[in-house]
Amino acid sequence: MLPEWFIYALFSAVTAALASILAKIGLQGVDSITATALRSIVMTILVFTVLYFTKGYSGLTGLTQREYMFIILSGLAGGASWILYFLALQKGEAGKVAVVDRSSVLFVIILATILLQEELTIKKIVAGILVFTALVLLAI
């Protein structure tokens, strides 16, 4: 049996791939900033709808200032990522752009080791090397 987190992560990867392909098609005659803004509006409506039907808005009131701060910073980083991703997607091939974008796993491994003190195992090092190799092979 696969762990629950793995199933969610796998579906996340599939929906991210679908989002990339649909965005590439939708960016044909639209500038990337407008497309990112529209995507953000749609995603905001979707997330608040899911929040309302699963937890109501009570989930927003129980957060600490520290949690708000880091979630807001994460939102800013995510928004910057979307803007840059759509700019890259508009100018490059979807497959190549997605490979480079997904190389963020390398940065997550490095930053999680430094900032979160997560263990840097041989398995993570080998996986990181393989991801980097795939990045070089597919993006060039």
**Rounded Cα distance, 43 and 37, in Å:** 10
Q: Both 54 and 115 in a single domain?
A: no
Q: Both 66 and 114 in a single domain?
A: no
Q: Both 58 and 122 in a single domain?
A: no
What is the 8-class DSSP label of residue 120? -
Q: Both 73 and 42 in a single domain?
A: yes
Tell me which residue range forms the domain holding 59: 4-92
Q: Both 31 and 83 in a single domain?
A: yes
Q: What is the pLDDT along the chain (140 residues), one digit of tens a residue?
A: 888 988 988 888 889 888 988 998 888 889 999 999 999 999 999 999 998 888 777 777 888 899 999 999 999 999 999 999 999 999 998 888 888 888 898 999 999 999 999 999 999 999 999 988 988 887 77
- Cβ pair 89, 32 in contact under 8 A: yes
SS3 101: helix
pLDDT (0 to 100) of residue 113? 94
- Could you give the number of structural domains in the chain? 2
Tell me, yes or no, whether 110 lies in a domain. Answer: yes
Predicted structure pTM score? 0.79
What is the 8-class DSSP label of residue 102? H
pLDDT (0 to 100) of residue 136? 86
**Rounded Cα distance, 47 and 51, in Å:** 6
Q: Both 81 and 111 in a single domain?
A: no
Helix (H) or strand (E) holding 22: helix 4-26
Q: Both 112 and 79 in a single domain?
A: no
